[in-house]
């Protein structure tokens, strides 16, 4: 009897502990305070997203100013490599030390990197400092989504997560335009100086609003070896794809060495994560039917989506012979479509018992658009291609809030940071691999030069054939995404009261 009573008390204590952990840092915040916190972290995320696109149009000017123009692609790759590879690390750090100090660390690293980039005296220094800037940018992307998860329940969260898609779409359109204007009419250094006032605004808003969040610090050990291994393996693979995209053969010594090294490091990482007491990414999290399938779906979706944002303008120029301004403007349709799709799904999710069919139908429509691009790429006119780009954007948009909210809804609050960061990592990683892999296809057909993304002397027919294979690769990736998403379990979304008291498997 005494033993049964002790077990009952122990169970009550465990439930109380789970409720305390699961209460969510945002419990008790007013709607205005929630919006303020979300606005602050979205401004910070906008900085990181903007710096993935604002630099590209300024590259020729940077090359003229600093010399060593052969290394210009690394100004973009250096940022992309470090920001992608460090995303899971920030998720774990925020789970251990709290969201607010980790966000401040990421923002400080990003702003210091921006200042240093503006003062860079040489191309080598700029590449190194862009990598430093990326170390902060990766944290801003991961932590924005995690803070949103902290201040809102899964049922409420869908209304906020759609803004993330809006931020990415806005940065994708505004970045190239702003970068070109600043480089042409002011100075290329302004693309980095502009981060300082925006970052100061984000810091001011976050300081005022995030101070109300509960800081849950726990005594855990940081998995340094896991962080090193995942960073090294990711960087090795992405470097190999980048080199191949720049024209180096698969059988070349550098590419083979990087691929083999990356595979060996990945194998070591898996062994380590299985044995570590507190691994950087708990492999058990992927056994969750929602997390495993949703992260896989996001990875393959970004392979197709980011590939479209990078290569659709080149398709317009090389096949349809429109000017660069028209080609860039043509991308707005894809971005606007994804924002419409994401906002529609996000606003309907809390009201629907079954929220998966929206995203499933959208992915089917997007896949049909890519198949049409594959079949008719050499013969489409600009208007027809724009219609298909619109369908692609609207169709893919609902996936982003649906997958994010589903993952955050399926895990305990104590694993919220690492689950969200893992999703963000695979989102960025899928996009990075997609850009490199699709670039290798275009380079193989001679549509663009290996040194930079500019249209070569290939005719429209040859370019159209090359893009048929590019769209085929995107369609294949999106088909895998659809298969993974269909297999994802659909769990009821928790409301505010359930956040503080849900007990998975206990009762």
SS3 assignment, position 232: helix
**CA distances (Å), origin 72, targets 78, 138, 171, 322:** 10, 21, 21, 26
Contact 473, 437 (CB under 8 A): yes
Identify which has the larger pLDDT, 93 or 359.
Answer: 359
Mean pLDDT of 231-245: 76
Q: What is the pLDDT of residue 61?
A: 77
Report yes or no on 1 lying in a domain. no
Domain housing 88 = 28-212
Q: What is the pLDDT of residue 316?
A: 84
Of 12-26, 29-43, 113-127, the poorest mean pLDDT is in 12-26
Report yes or no on 502 lying in a domain. no
Question: Rounded to two decimals, what is the model's pTM?
Answer: 0.72
Report yes or no on 19 lying in a domain. no
Report yes or no on 497 lying in a domain. no
**CA distances (Å), origin 456, targets 21, 250, 317, 328, 439:** 57, 22, 11, 18, 14
pLDDT tens profile 55-64: 766 776 787 7
- 353 and 266 share one domain: no
CB atoms within 10 A of CB 201: 15
Q: What is the pLDDT of residue 268?
A: 95
- 107 and 177 share one domain: yes
Q: What is the pLDDT of residue 159?
A: 64
- Given a cut of 50, whether residue 97 has pLDDT beyond it is yes
pLDDT tens profile 294-327: 999 999 998 888 878 777 877 887 788 877 667 7
Report yes or no on 409 lying in a domain. yes
pLDDT tens profile 144-182: 777 777 776 666 666 666 677 678 777 777 777 787 778
Tell me the C-alpha distance between 279 and 259, whole Å. 24
> Which positions ≥6 away from 266 have C-beta within 8 Å?
233
Identify the CATH number of the domain in which residue 321 sits: 1.20.1250.20
- Given a cut of 90, whether residue 249 has pLDDT beyond it is no
Last residue of a domain, one of 236, 255, 277: 277
Report yes or no on 316 lying in a domain. yes
Of 121-130, 224-233, 276-285, 332-341, the poorest mean pLDDT is in 276-285
Last residue of a domain, one of 212, 237, 255: 212
- Given a cut of 60, whether residue 19 has pLDDT beyond it is no
Listed residue (161, 115, 111, 116) closest to 137, CA to CA: 111
- Given a cut of 60, whether residue 374 has pLDDT beyond it is yes
Q: What is the pLDDT of residue 378?
A: 87
DSSP state of 60: H
Number of domains into which the chain is organized: 3
- Given a cut of 60, whether residue 503 has pLDDT beyond it is no
Q: What is the pLDDT of residue 471?
A: 94
Report yes or no on 343 lying in a domain. yes
- 271 and 289 share one domain: no
- 166 and 60 share one domain: yes
Report yes or no on 305 lying in a domain. yes
Question: Going along 250-387, which residue ranges are E strands?
Answer: none
- 365 and 482 share one domain: yes
């Amino acid at each position: 009897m005494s033993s049964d009573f002790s077990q009952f008390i122990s169970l009550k204590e465990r439930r109380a502990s789970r409720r305390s952990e699961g209460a969510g840092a945002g419990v008790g915040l007013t709607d205005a305070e929630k919006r303020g916190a979300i606005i602050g972290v979205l401004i910070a995320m906008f900085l990181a997203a903007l710096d993935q696109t604002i630099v590209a149009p300024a590259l020729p000017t940077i090359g003229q100013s600093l010399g060593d123009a052969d290394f210009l692609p690394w100004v973009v790759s250096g940022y992309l490599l470090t920001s992608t590879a460090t995303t899971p690390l920030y998720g774990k750090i925020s789970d251990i030390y709290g969201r607010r100090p980790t966000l401040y660390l990421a923002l400080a690293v990003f702003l210091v990197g921006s200042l240093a980039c503006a003062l860079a005296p040489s191309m080598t220094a700029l590449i190194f400092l862009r990598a430093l800037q990326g170390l902060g940018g990766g944290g801003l992307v991961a932590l924005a989504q995690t803070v949103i998860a902290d201040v809102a329940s899964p049922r409420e969260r869908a209304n906020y997560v759609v803004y993330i898609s809006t931020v990415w779409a806005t940065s994708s359109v505004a970045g190239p335009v702003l970068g070109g204007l600043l480089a042409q009419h002011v100075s290329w250094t302004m693309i980095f100086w502009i981060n300082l006032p925006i970052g100061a605004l984000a810091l001011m808003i976050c300081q005022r609003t995030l101070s109300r969040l509960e800081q849950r610090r726990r005594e855990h050990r940081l998995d340094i070896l896991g962080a090193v291994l995942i960073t090294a393996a990711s960087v090795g693979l992405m470097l190999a794809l980048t080199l191949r995209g720049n024209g180096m053969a698969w059988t070349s010594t550098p590419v083979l060495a990087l691929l083999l090294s990356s595979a060996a490091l990945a194998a070591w990482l898996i062994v380590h994560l299985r044995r570590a007491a507190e691994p950087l990414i708990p492999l058990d999290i992927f056994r969750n039917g929602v997390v495993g399938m949703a992260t896989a779906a996001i990875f393959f979706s970004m392979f197709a989506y980011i590939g479209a944002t990078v290569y659709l303008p080149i398709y317009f120029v090389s096949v349809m012979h429109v000017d660069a301004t028209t080609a860039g403007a043509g991308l707005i349709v894809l971005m606007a479509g994804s924002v419409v799709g994401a906002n529609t799904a996000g606003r309907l999710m809390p009201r629907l018992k079954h929220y998966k069919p929206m995203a499933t139908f959208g992915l089917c429509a997007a896949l049909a658009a890519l198949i049409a691009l594959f079949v008719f790429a050499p013969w489409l006119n600009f208007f027809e291609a724009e219609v298909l780009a619109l369908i692609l954007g609207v169709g893919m948009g609902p996936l982003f809030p649906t997958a994010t909210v589903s993952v955050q809804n399926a895990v305990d609050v104590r694993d919220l940071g690492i689950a969200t960061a893992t999703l963000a990592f695979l989102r960025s990683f899928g996009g990075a691999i997609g850009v490199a892999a699709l670039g290798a296809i275009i380079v193989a057909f001679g549509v663009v030069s290996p040194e930079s993304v500019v249209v070569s002397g290939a005719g429209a027919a040859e370019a159209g054939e090359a893009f048929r294979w590019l769209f085929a690769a995107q369609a294949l990736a999106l088909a895998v995404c659809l298969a993974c998403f269909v297999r994802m379990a659909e769990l009821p979304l928790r409301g505010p009261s359930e956040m503080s008291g849900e007990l998975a498997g206990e009762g």
